[in-house]
Amino acid sequence: MEKALENRRVGVLKRIFAVNEFGLLISLAVIFAFFGATSHYFLIPRNLSNILGQVSLPLIAGVGLSLLLICGEVDISIGSLQAVAALPLVHALNGTHSLALGVFLALATGAAVGIINGLLVTRLKIPSLIATLGMYYALRGAVYLITGKVAVADRSGSELFFLIGNGKVFRFFPYSAILMFVILFVFMYILKNTTYGRRLYAVGGNADVARSIGIDVVKIKFSAFVICSVLSSVSAVLLASRLGSANHLAGTGFEFQVVAAVVLGGVSLSGGVGTLLGAFIGVLILGIIQNGLGMLNVNTMWQLVITGGIIIMSVAIDELKKRRG
């Protein structure tokens, strides 16, 4: 009897999980089909490749944020980080013409910020939403002070720097998209097949339990903060390339865009639940909506209203499914 009971339960769970991503895919397909039908330009290869390039920024940051959310924390300072991380990059480029050095410095900056966030949350025990809200202000202000609100243009003329954000392989596949997929798959693998990955879920699922069986919760969360910030600064590098400058206004509102996307993708704000595939779909949905509405020349007012509406509906549908089982 227990076995029967058991099997029924598993069956149900299996279905739920299948359904969840499936549901997201459906909404994605519907949206895709809609724009395909309404705009002559949406489906042309050129535009599709643009979309890939455009979603790569929020997605790369989104992977990091998903990791963080899965282990039960959040980081809303990633928007300000977009501006911070680009500074050393472009300065190094202009100064030394070495892209490698620039990128390294950008990632290092990201790591540094991640370490600060991590310390604030794990050592000083400040809730991550608050700690990173503080950093969100502090970092943005710091950039204003440092730059005096004058953007730093890239004068190195480095072709490669231009290409990482704007270039395409075979005039179709954006470099940034390749980078995105590499990062996406690597971390999908890590989450699924490494002890570290599973422990992220364990910590997010129930930190006390994780602690009680000897998982170093602090270390796990700390590392997640660092990874999140480093990946965000990767997207900061791409953004800098797309903007051709380190810009004090870069990344304003980026944090909400990414949070909304991954949560839309089924990554739970309360930790322990979510997949990178879901996050990917979530980012795609929002990216396609932006692109598609643009293709249809929908004005900003309606863009805001429609996007907001779609976010609410998608999440609502997802919740409904969860309850239906």
Partner 1 sequence: MNENGGYVLQVREIVKEFPGVRALDGVRFDLARGEVHALVGENGAGKSTLIKILAGVYAKDEGEILFEGKPAVITSPTDSLRLGIKVVFQELALIPNMTVAENVFLESFPLKKNKAIDWVRMNERTTDILLSIGLPISPRSKVGGLTVSQQQMVEIARALSHEAKVVVMDEPTSALSPNEIKFLFNVMNKLKKLGIGIVYVTHKLEEVFEISDRVTVLRDGRLISTKPVGETGTDEVVRDMVGRSITTLFPRTHPGSRTHAAANAPVLQVENLSTEKKLRDVSLSVHAGEVVGVFGLLGAGRSELAKAIFGLDRINRGRILIEGRELRSGSPSHSVKMGIGLLTENRKEEGLVLQMSVSQNITLTSIRELATLGLINRKMETERSREFVERFSIKTPSLRQKVMFLSGGNQQKVLLARWLMKSLRLIILDEPTRGIDVGAKAEIHKLIDELAKEGLAVLVMTSEMPELLGVSDRILVMSKGSVTGEFPREQTTQEDILAAAIL
Partner 2 sequence: MKGRKILIFIAVFVFMLSLCSLALAAQKIPKRVGWVGNYMMHEWYQNVQKGMVDRANQLGIQLEVLDANLDMAKQVSFAEDLMAKGVDVLIITPVQQEGAASIVKKAKMEGIPCIIEASAVEGMTTLVAICDYDCGFKGGVETGKYVKAKLGGKARIMAIDLPMLRPCILRVDGFYDGIRTVIPDAVMVHRLDGQGLKDHALQVATDALTKDKNVNVIYGCNDDSALGALQAYRAAGLDEKKLVVCGTGGEGNAFIHAMKEGGPYKVEAAMFPEAVGYECVNMAVKLFNNETVPKHYVTPTAALTTENWSSFYTLAGEKRTINWNTVNKVKREDKCAKY
Partner 3 sequence: MEGTQSSGKGSLWSKLILFNEIILVAILVTISAAISLGAPQFYSTTNMLNILRDSSMAIIAGVGMTMLIITGEVDLSIGSLVAFVGVVTMDVTNKTNSVALGVLAGLGLGAVTGLVNGFVRTKLRVNSLIGTIAMLMILRGGVYLYSLAAVQNYHQLKAFFDIGNGYVGFMPIPVLVMITLAVVFLVVVNRTVMGRYLYATGGNYAAARISGIKVDGLKILTFVICSVFAAISGVILVSRMNSGQPNAGTGFELTVVAGVILGGTSLGGGEGTLMGTLVGVLILRIINNGIIILGWNQDLQIVISGIVIIVAIYVDNKRKIARARIIST
Binding positions for partner 1, rule: CB under 8 A: 2-3, 5-7, 9-10, 12-13, 189, 192-195, 198, 201-202, 205-206, 209-215, 272-273
Q: Are 27 and 160 in contact (CB under 8 A)?
A: no
Which of the choices partner 3, partner 2, partner 1, none does residue 256 contact, using the CB cut-off of 5 to 8 A by kind? partner 3
Phi, psi values for residue 253, rounded to 5°: 80, -5
295-304, long-range: CB within 8 Å, 24+ apart, which pairs?
295/35, 295/39, 295/41, 295/42, 295/47, 296/35, 296/38, 296/39
Out of 176, 223, 233, 247, name the contact with partner 2 by CB under 8 A. 247
For residue 167 the two structure tokens come to 């270039």
Does 215 engage in binding with partner 3 (CB under 8 A)? no
Quote the CA–CA distance of 229 and 120 in Å, as a whole number.
Answer: 14
Binding mask 288-317 for partner 3 (x = CB under 8 A): ------------xxxxxx-xxx-xx--xx-
Does 172 engage in binding with partner 2 (CB under 8 A)? no
Looking at 93-101, 137-145, 183-191, 206-214, which segment touches partner 3 (CB under 8 A)? Answer: 137-145
Quote the CA–CA distance of 60 and 66 in Å, as a whole number.
Answer: 10
Which of the choices partner 2, partner 1, partner 3, none does residue 37 contact, using the CB cut-off of 5 to 8 A by kind? none
188-192, long-range: CB within 8 Å, 24+ apart, which pairs?
188/276, 188/277, 191/67, 191/70, 191/275, 191/276
> Chain centroid to CA 31: how far?
21
Out of 98, 134, 219, 273, name the contact with partner 3 by CB under 8 A. 134
Quote the CA–CA distance of 162 and 243 in Å, as a whole number.
Answer: 9
Q: How large is the C-alpha radius of gyration of the chain? A: 20
Which of the choices partner 2, partner 3, partner 1, none does residue 252 contact, using the CB cut-off of 5 to 8 A by kind? partner 2
Does 151 engage in binding with partner 2 (CB under 8 A)? yes
Region of residue 152 (phi > 0: left; psi between -120 and 50: alpha; otherwise: beta):
beta
Smaller CB distance to partner 1: residue 244 or 272? 272
Does 241 engage in binding with partner 2 (CB under 8 A)? yes
What is the SS3 assignment for 52-81?
A: HHHHHHHHHHHHHHHHHHHCCCCCCCHHHH
Smallest distance, partner 1 to C-beta of residue 184, A: 18
Out of 120, 231, 258, 284, name the contact with partner 3 by CB under 8 A. 120
Does 245 engage in binding with partner 2 (CB under 8 A)? yes
Question: Which residues are at the interface with partner 2 (CB under 8 A)?
Answer: 41, 44, 46-47, 50, 53-54, 57, 148-154, 162, 165-166, 239, 241-245, 247-254, 290-291, 294-295, 297, 299-301, 303
